[in-house]
Structure 1
Amino acid sequence: MSRQASRRARSIALFLVVTMVASCGTLPRSGPNKREIFAGSVLQEGDAFVVSVNPRVTAATAVVPALGFSSVFRDAGELGADTIRPGDTLGLIIYENVEDGLLTSTGASASLIDEVQVDSSGFIFIPYAGRLRAADSTPEQLRRLITRRLDEQTPDPQVVVRRLAGDGATVSIVGGAGAQGVYPIERPTRTLSAMIAAAGGFSIAPEIALVTVTRGNRSETAYLSDLYKNPHMDIALRNGDRIFIEEDTRAFTVLGATGTQNRLEFETETLSAIEALAQVGGLNANVANPTGVFVFRNEPEEIARAVMGRDDLIGTQRLVYVLDLTRPNGMFDARDFVIRDGDTVYVTEAPIVGWNRSVAAIFGSLGQVTAAGSAVGIN
């Protein structure tokens, strides 16, 4: 076949391959490119606001979980070490200033009443003194009360009250504690951090540990590290408190041209966009577009209004935040932009990558067509 016919065959083959690639739509890739994401913005009649990140945007979106104990928990004073509570066990010694006393045996001047249990209502029973309320009193207050009651029966009684055990007031600790169980509130363990230490500390990383205290029908949660950073968060405990230690369950997803694509949990209390990228090994230097780092988020109405500078937005809004790491302040913006639970971080591919992929597909296919033509004698 003539050289002209061969060139014509090559042209026809190239035309057929280009047509085939065009008809197949986009070539395989990790996701939409930068232009396609912008095409889905509200300005292009899409359903998401696409916003470039700047210092004003980072300030408006810098929202972290509002965790911590309220004043209801913080203002509760510590229980007195000697306060008597339901369930406590008391020991009493009663001295009578007569030979034949009400409670003493013949020849004895004192009567030992050992292991008197405070009932669930907070009362005890003492012969000749009757049923007395012991709960919420100190041993000294109870001593004076018993003395007054017995003084009506025997002259000048002398009473000694001892608190033998403090198991009446307890808390339960479950979850990521060193040793789960029920623990008494005693002198060294009247605060939350001291009680956790008594339970063997915690078995999870303190940076992502949450502690929830349930008191009655009220539950409040704080970061475990805040108990040590902010002493006012180290609340006093109350009888029946339930303490639950768990890992922070917040997570985000990273997709696109990064070192790896995965769903990742927060490793710190707060997480920036730079730190989120670092958790997956950063951008893939061979394919990533540093001008097209996107964060997809459903933003609450209040924050969406602040970001967009509009007061007509109603309800949760879809926002796509754009980070351009090549700008003079781009790295600072990414460092200050806070990632939140449920965010999707997506890194687009550089335009040249798509071009190279298309060229490889076209000329790879062209080579196959040319080889097939040679086999049938077109060349």
Structure 2
Amino acid sequence: MPSSGPEDHVIKSEMTKAGPEYGLVKLTPTVVDILKEYGPGALAGTFPDKSPPRSIKFGIGDVVSVTIFEAAAGGLFIPAEAGVRPGNFVQIPNQNVDTAGNITVPYAGAVKAAGRTPSEIQQDIVKAIGNRAIEPQVVVALITQNTSLISVLGEVNTPARLQANAAGERVLDVISRAGGPKGQGWETWVTLERNGKRATVPFGALVYQPDNNVWVHPGDTIYVYREPQIFLAFGAAGQQGQFPFDMWKITMAQAMAKAGGLLDAQAEPAGVFVYRREPRELAERLGVDCSKYVGPLVPVVYNVDFRDPAGFFLATKFDMRDKDVLFAANAATYDTAKFLQFVRLIVATANDTIVSANNVQVLRINSKGL
């Protein structure tokens, strides 16, 4: 008989003709709790360091200024006739940190600057000229920041390489400095890359799950892009097709409502399924035998029983993922009704043929009588 998909008992038997094989997982409170540990909200897990970034350090190419103070005139930098000077200090011309990572200070020579903080450089300079200057004090400042930068790319209003803020900033702060996202928040995704590690979350996860709004470090790259999330609905639902989330996340209950709910005369309430590929680690925690699967992703089919009143509570806690397939199986009685309707069509067709033949016979008899 024609059908919109496999029958409920076929899916639950985990039988497949062409593959791939899949694992069936019945939705329970335990399963819902395990699933909440996974998913797109991964910035907090990939970058668990909750402390602000360390002090900004100089790098090759940064422009640095050095100011040297002495306690009295007649020292190394302040001449004895310093009465006309504006102060007891000397300003060394701004200079770039060279390719060797050094800056040059008169009477101190080359001073290591790359990878160091201003206070560390100041101490080295004071130590180098301390025997020749009068109680010297040094101030080292960053004039132009060329290395401690944060790149913000993609669907933001002002993509740029931004100077790292010494006070520290989080992901949302940096995106705000880049003009904010261009598109709607629910269709916007944010990728953070640092030292070869990468994680992606929906923009809403940064707003509604503060743990994902992690500290940004110098050298990080933030990529913002738009990708509307969708799910596909098939089977005995009110409507079939592709549906957008139109929000940063939705539950199975909301997805079922978007698809028009279950057809009262057709659907099997205990046969509502969500098809998805899950990481092997998660599938194993859900009780799926992963020995027969190859690769990092395992096909999993989740089943919820809407004949059980508690099934609706579980459906409101089960988050849909992008490209999930929602399938509602037909009830067995509906398939029986289709078969009976088919038999009735055949009987009616045969009966029509007999009636037509009888009518032709009657017409012949009548014509002979005439």
What is the TM-score of this pair, normalised by structure 1?
0.69
Query: In structure 2, which of residues 264, 269, 281 is the aligned counterpart of residue 290 of structure 1?
Result: 269
Pairing 1:302-321 to 2, within 5 Å after superposition: 314-316=291-293, 320-321=301-302
Contact 1:76 1:235 in 2 (8 A): no
CA deviations on 1:304-358 (whole Å, 9 max, x unpaired) are 66666x9x76344766544342333342343344545664321233534625752
Q: Larger deviation: 237-246 or 283-292?
A: 283-292
What is the aligned counterpart of 2:234 among 238, 241, 255? 255
Which residue matches 2:178?
199
The answer to whether structure 1 residue 132 and structure 2 residue 111 are counterparts is yes
Shift of the 128–371 alpha-carbon distance from structure 1 to 2, 3 Å rule, reads farther
Say whether the 8 Å CA contact 1:64–1:270 is kept in structure 2: no
User: In 2, are the aligned partners of 1:49 and 1:320 still within 8 Å (CA)?
Assistant: yes
| Structure 1 residue 358 corresponds to structure 2 residue 338 | no
CA distance in structure 2 between the aligned counterparts of 1:72 and 1:346, rounded to whole angstroms: 36
Residue identity matched to 1:331? F
Name the CA shift for 1:349/1:362 in 2 (closer, same or farther; >3 Å): farther
Q: Residues 176 and 368 from structure 1, CA distance in 2 versus in 1: closer, same or farther, beyond 3 angstroms?
A: farther
Q: Is the 8 A contact 1:79 1:237 kept in 2?
A: no
Partner of 2:164: 185
Q: Which residue of 1 aligns with 2:61?
A: 87
- The residue correspondences of 1:77-226 to structure 2 (distance < 5 A) are 77-80=52-55, 83-94=57-68, 111-155=90-134, 159-187=138-166, 190-207=169-186, 209-226=188-205
Q: For 1:218 and 1:127, how far apart are their aligned partners in 2?
A: 43
Matches within 5 A, 1:329-348: 329-340=310-321, 343-348=324-329
Given that 2:53 and 2:168 are in contact with CA atoms closer than 8 Å, whether structure 1 keeps it comes out as no
Paired with 1:378 and 1:241, the residues of 2 have a C-alpha distance of 92
Deviations 1:43-88 (A, max 9, x none): xxxx76666655566556666326133486525532436x544433
Output one character per residue of 1:89-108: Cα deviation in whole Å (capped at 9) or x when no partner.
2233446756796698x987
> Could you tell me how far apart the structure 1 residues matched to 2:197 and 2:46 are?
13
Identity of aligned residues (%): 24
- Paired letter, 1:164: I
Contact 2:274 2:301 in 1 (8 A): yes
- Cα-to-partner distance string for 1:268-311 (whole Å, 9 max, x where unaligned): 66543222212323234564443432334566776666666x9x
Residue by residue over 1:235-263, the C-alpha shift from the partner in whole angstroms, topping out at 9 and shown as x without a partner, is 33333211122456875432112233234
Assess, with a 3 A threshold, how the Cα gap between structure 1 residues 244 and 192 changes in structure 2: closer, same or farther.
same
Give 1:80's aligned amino acid.
S
1:235 aligned residue = 214
Contact 1:189 1:195 (C-alpha < 8 Å) held by counterparts: no
Q: For the residues of structure 2 that align with 1:249 and 1:55, how far apart are their CA atoms? A: 29
In 2, Cα distance between equivalents of 1:374 and 1:34: 46
2:47–2:214 CA contact under 8 A, matched in 1:
no
C-alpha separation between the residues in 2 aligned to 1:369 and 1:219?
Answer: 71
Give the superposition deviation at 1:130: 0.7
Residue 183 of structure 1 and its aligned partner are, at CA, apart by: 0.8
Q: Give the Cα separation in 1 of the matches to 2:30 and 2:141.
A: 64
* Residue equivalent to 1:6: none
Instruction: Tell me what 1:69 maps to.
Output: 44
Q: Which residue of 1 aligns with 2:256?
A: 277
C-alpha RMSD of the superposition: 4.4
* Partner Cα distance (2:271, 2:243) in 1: 21
State how far apart, in whole Å, the 2-side matches of 1:60 and 1:191 are: 28
| AA in 1 matched with 2:6 | P
Verify the 8 A CA contact 1:41 1:50 in the aligned structure 2.
Answer: no
Structure 1 residues 325 and 70: CA distance shift in structure 2, 3 A: closer
Please name the residue that 1:245 is paired with.
224
CA 1:122/1:245 → structure 2, altered by over 3 Å: closer, same or farther? same
Determine the C-alpha separation between the residues in 2 that align with 1:201 and 1:208: 14
> Does the Cα contact within 8 Å between 1:91 and 1:114 map onto a contact in 2?
yes
Counterpart of 2:177 in structure 1: which amino acid?
A
2:6 aligned to 9, 18, 32, which one? 32
Code of the aligned partner of 2:38: V
Aligned length: 347
User: 5+ unaligned residues in a row in structure 1: which ranges?
Assistant: 1-25
Mapped partners of 1:69, 1:153: distance in 2: 52
**Displacement, 1:193?**
2.4
Cα deviation for residue 197 of structure 1 reads 1.2
